[in-house]
């Protein structure tokens, strides 16, 4: 994996183990070297040419840390821990993609927030991806009828997240042309 493991210590004082793993993109996020790279995609280990703005609406701190770590350096990520905070943020800033948890613990849920976001100027066609453990086919269909454009089942992997974001951005570029 290209990582490093080191050990330091002294008798009677304890031992410290350090494990380092490089954070690089996998092939899901980059085209083959002989193909032209799209603006939102990156070559392994290099920052994106264009960092797209993503809003992640999530009230679980572990999920926030996970996604923040994965997207750091590849997307400009803002976090909202409630639907109400998400609504404030989308009124202040235009996001390229919104990752929306459905089951928010307090206040309105992600479906209700999505329906309001769709009424805000500039957000009618913004991709809003449901990031949720609800994964039954009828639930996915229900999300799409409530204004969400895509679905990503929790728990998801780094590869699944980047694949979904890449696919969504490709669709956006096609629709813009």
- Is residue 48 assigned to a domain? yes
The CATH number given to whatever domain includes residue 83 is 3.40.50.2300
Q: What is the pTM of this model?
A: 0.70
- Does 9 fall in a domain? no
Cα angle: 66, vertex 87, 112; to 5 degrees: 90
Nearest Cα to 53, choosing from 119, 126, 121, 116? 126
Task: Decide if 77 is inside a domain.
Answer: yes
| Domain range for 66 | 38-176
Domain-located, residue 60:
yes
Distance CA(126)–CA(117), nearest Å, equals 9
**1-58 confidence digits (pLDDT tens):** 567 888 888 888 888 888 877 765 443 344 333 333 344 444 444 444 568 999 999 9
Sorted by sequence, the CB contacts under 8 Å of residue 46 that are 6+ apart come out as: none
Q: Is 23 among the domain residues? A: no
Domain assignment of residue 14, yes or no: no
Q: Residue 139 domain-assigned?
A: yes
Please give the tally of structural domains in the chain: 1
- Could you tell me if residue 131 is inside a domain? yes
């Amino acid at each position: 994996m290209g990582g490093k493991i080191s050990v330091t210590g002294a008798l009677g004082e304890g031992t410290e183990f350090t494990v380092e793993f490089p954070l690089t993109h996998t092939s899901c996020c980059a085209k083959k070297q002989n193909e032209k790279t799209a603006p939102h995609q990156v070559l392994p280990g290099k920052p994106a040419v264009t960092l797209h703005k993503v809003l992640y609406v999530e009230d679980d701190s572990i999920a926030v840390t996970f996604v923040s770590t994965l997207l750091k350096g590849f997307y400009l990520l803002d976090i909202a821990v409630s639907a109400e905070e998400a609504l404030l943020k989308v009124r202040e800033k235009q996001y390229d993609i919104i990752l929306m948890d459905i089951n928010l613990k307090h206040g309105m849920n992600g479906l209700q927030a999505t329906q309001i976001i769709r009424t805000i100027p500039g957000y009618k066609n913004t991709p809003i991806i449901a990031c949720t453990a609800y994964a039954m086919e009828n639930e996915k269909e229900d999300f799409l009828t409530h204004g969400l454009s895509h679905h990503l089942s929790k728990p998801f992997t780094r590869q699944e997240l980047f694949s979904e974001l890449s696919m969504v951005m490709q669709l956006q570029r096609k629709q813009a042309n």
